[in-house]
């Protein structure tokens, strides 16, 4: 099956704060930081040649803002990883947008929703038992 997205980017106004948040929040999902640059951080699976999520200072130099209705949903290997993602987000400056639990979007759709310290909304989802 062809890949749909090459990568996603989310803006930040504080790269150091974002690194602490995303290092902790993405670890339960099996994602690791694979790039650290002056203006961006890159995350992906350890064995994937591509970085799939970039956290960046905006290229135009203006403050990062959030998109209303914008939310990447990240794959979680199991319900425990969804719970760990949510707990790590709250422990590292994020806010709750929906506690871990089953949702009506399909059989076994178990998700949690958070906002990062910059206000970007994220979700971790496990589909299945």
Does 3.60.21.10 match the CATH number of domain 8-60+70-127? no
Contacts with 2 (C-beta within 8 Å, 6 or more apart), sequence order: none
Tokens (6 digits) for 39: 């203006």
Q: What is the pLDDT along the chain (129 residues), one digit of tens a residue?
A: 456 678 999 999 999 999 999 999 999 999 999 999 999 999 999 999 899 999 999 999 999 999 889 999 999 999 999 999 999 999 999 999 999 999 999 989 999 999 999 999 999 999 986
Q: What is the pLDDT of residue 71?
A: 95
What ranges do the domains of the chain cover? 8-60+70-127
Helix (H, G, I), strand (E, B), or coil: what is residue 72?
coil
Cβ count within 10 A of residue 103: 14
| pTM for the full predicted model | 0.93
* pLDDT value of position 2: 53
């Amino acid at each position: 099956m062809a890949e749909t997205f090459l990568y996603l980017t989310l803006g930040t106004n504080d790269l150091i704060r974002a690194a602490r948040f995303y290092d902790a929040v993405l670890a339960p999902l099996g994602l690791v930081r694979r790039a650290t640059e002056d203006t961006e951080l890159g995350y992906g699976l350890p064995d994937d040649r591509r970085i799939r999520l970039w956290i960046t200072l905006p290229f135009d130099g203006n403050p990062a803002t959030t998109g209303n209705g914008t939310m990447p949903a990240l794959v979680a290997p199991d319900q425990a990883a969804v719970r760990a993602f949510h707990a790590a987000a709250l422990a590292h400056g994020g806010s709750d947008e929906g506690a871990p639990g089953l949702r009506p979007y399909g059989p076994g759709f178990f998700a949690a929703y958070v906002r990062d310290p910059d206000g970007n909304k994220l979700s971790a989802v496990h589909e299945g038992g």
